[in-house]
Structure 1
Amino acid sequence: MASFDPMQTSARPTPLPPIASIPKMYGWIAAGFVVLALVPTLWPQIDIAAAELLAGPHKVLDAGQWPWVVWINAYIPTVFRFMVLLAAAGWLISSLTRLGKPWRMHFAFLALAGILGPGAVVNHVFKDNWQRARPYEVTQFGGPQQFTRAGVITDQCNNNCSFVSGHVACGFFLISVLLIHRKRAGRWAGAGILAGLVIGFARMSDVAHWLSDVLWACPITLLSSALVWKGLQFIYPAQSTPEQGTMH
């Protein structure tokens, strides 16, 4: 009869969940913003009412020239591109050398998700094809184009159109970082939500985006990042467990 060794039993490690899974918090944030975005989408007069608070002859708040609003509108895409380039450089270096090798997957994620979500999906899938006019372009605010609700493919804009906001997607992208930094998931989620909403306020203050453009940027960005994260599990399976590659 085999003897029972309590020390041997207690020393057996408890399996940890793979970080390939998407945290529930991530899914709830994406779902929550879908619900929020559906409100001005289903009732488009909310989009116009929100824009009128910051634009037009009866605006409540004239924030377009606030210094930090001007800075956000001018530089956020440049800052984001620089961060993506840094991640791409880290990915290249960690792939060719031993330097930073444990974080190779994380560099890859930041680079590829940054390029896909706020880059390709927002600009080339949505902006170029939905062709929604920006607030300053529609008749309600002195422009020649017609207002259209979010999600409707139209012909009221030729390029660099309104739906969805690329600036705001850069802010909400910070939420995606929780996929590679689980111990600070709440902080990354909070930082990303705050960044997205603050940048959204700046874009709306510049009469460049509707409220729905701001809100839809979140789930679109998070879905794009999740697809990249799942895809990378097949390329770097050895770094898909907390013991072998998670940022702590």
Structure 2
Amino acid sequence: MNKKHLNVKLYFWLLFLISSLIFIFIPQIDLSIASIFYDGRSFPLNGSWIETILYHSVKPIIIFFALASFAIFIYNHIKKKNVFGINSKVLLYIILVLAIAPALIVNTTLKENWGRARPAQTIDFGGQKEFTPAFILSNQGGYSFSSGHTAAAFSLLGFALLARKRQKTFITLVLIYGTLVSLARMAAGGHFFSDVMTSFFIVWITTHILYKLIFKEDSIS
């Protein structure tokens, strides 16, 4: 099960497949988990200080890491140095990780076209739209599937995979941060559990495949 396919362990591919099938054929899981954050009238944590901080933290963190990487690359190029090992391949990897997983796959392809209503928009939670299972195209005009904030938060995995020392520590920190952002989005009624899980799997798989394609080797994780 530890064998890798495209730099992604076999068990991870299986987890993605099995979880996707569960979300499609047992959609009540989404409703049950969403109901944990619903008090019968609203999602009370929506707009709370912790939810607001986590929601608004994603964009500036991503921008900071992206700009810092670009600045270091320029510095290395001018000074003929190798600070943090950021060369043209590393910079290309970072750009593709941010552009493909959260931007192209999640936000442009899924979110803009799937039409799934957010939890707070559904009749089940005080809204006016119908609930539809994950992976099923909908005409609800919603942007729930899948979670852009979750994908962006977990895309920091791309930076963590570049670490040669304490890689597991950095990966763990990213997983914790991504999980907190995902919980915040669910608590606010912005996404179902399947939305955040799908984004997580997409980012994890994409970052590892890109690592293999660009560096011609498997990542340590």
Q: TM-score, normalised by structure 2?
A: 0.80
CA distance in 2, matches of 1:106, 1:144: 46
Counterpart residue number, 1:22: 7
CA, structure 1 residues 187+38, in 2 after alignment: closer, same or farther (shift >3 Å)? farther
The alignment status of 1:78 with 2:60, answered yes or no, reads yes
CA distance in 2, matches of 1:82, 1:112: 16
Contact residue 132 and residue 163 of structure 1 kept, 8 A: yes
Runs of 5+ consecutive residues of structure 2 not aligned to the other structure: 1-5
CA, structure 1 residues 223+91, in 2 after alignment: closer, same or farther (shift >3 Å)? farther
CA, structure 1 residues 97+41, in 2 after alignment: closer, same or farther (shift >3 Å)? farther
CA distance in 2, matches of 1:30, 1:219: 9
CA shift digits 1:32-60 (9 cap, x unpaired): 4554454333311111111111125178x
CA shift digits 1:74-109 (9 cap, x unpaired): 231232233223323334444565233742133332
Runs of at least 4 residues of structure 1 off by over 6 A? Answer: none
Q: Counterparts of 1:67-106 in structure 2 under 5 Å? A: 67-95=49-77, 98-100=80-82, 102-104=85-87, 105-106=89-90
Letter in 1 for 2:212: K
CA distance in 2, matches of 1:241, 1:148: 38
CA, structure 1 residues 23+164, in 2 after alignment: closer, same or farther (shift >3 Å)? closer
Contact residue 138 and residue 144 of structure 1 kept, 8 A: yes
Match for residue 129 of structure 2 among 120, 138, 145: 145
CA, structure 1 residues 176+63, in 2 after alignment: closer, same or farther (shift >3 Å)? same
Compute the RMSD of aligned alpha carbons. Answer: 3.0
Letter in 2 for 1:40: F
Counterpart residue number, 1:46: 29
Identity of aligned residues (%): 24
Runs of 5+ consecutive residues of structure 1 not aligned to the other structure: 1-20
Counterpart residue number, 2:161: 179
Q: Counterparts of 1:1-248 in structure 2 under 5 Å? A: 22=7, 24=9, 28-29=11-12, 31-32=14-15, 34-57=17-40, 62-95=44-77, 98-100=80-82, 102-104=85-87, 105-157=89-141, 161-233=143-215
CA distance in 1, matches of 2:201, 2:100: 14
CA distance in 1, matches of 2:94, 2:192: 28
Question: Comparing 28-37 with 98-107, which one deviates more in the overlay?
Answer: 28-37
Contact residue 62 and residue 156 of structure 2 kept, 8 A: no
CA distance in 2, matches of 1:205, 1:22: 33
Alpha-carbon offset, residue 185 of structure 1: 3.2
Aligned length: 213
CA distance in 1, matches of 2:218, 2:192: 41
Structure of greater Rg: 1
Q: TM-score, normalised by structure 1?
A: 0.72
CA, structure 1 residues 41+187, in 2 after alignment: closer, same or farther (shift >3 Å)? farther
Letter in 2 for 1:136: A
Contact residue 34 and residue 119 of structure 2 kept, 8 A: yes
Contact residue 47 and residue 210 of structure 1 kept, 8 A: yes
Alpha-carbon offset, residue 131 of structure 1: 1.7
| SS of aligned partner of 1:128 | helix
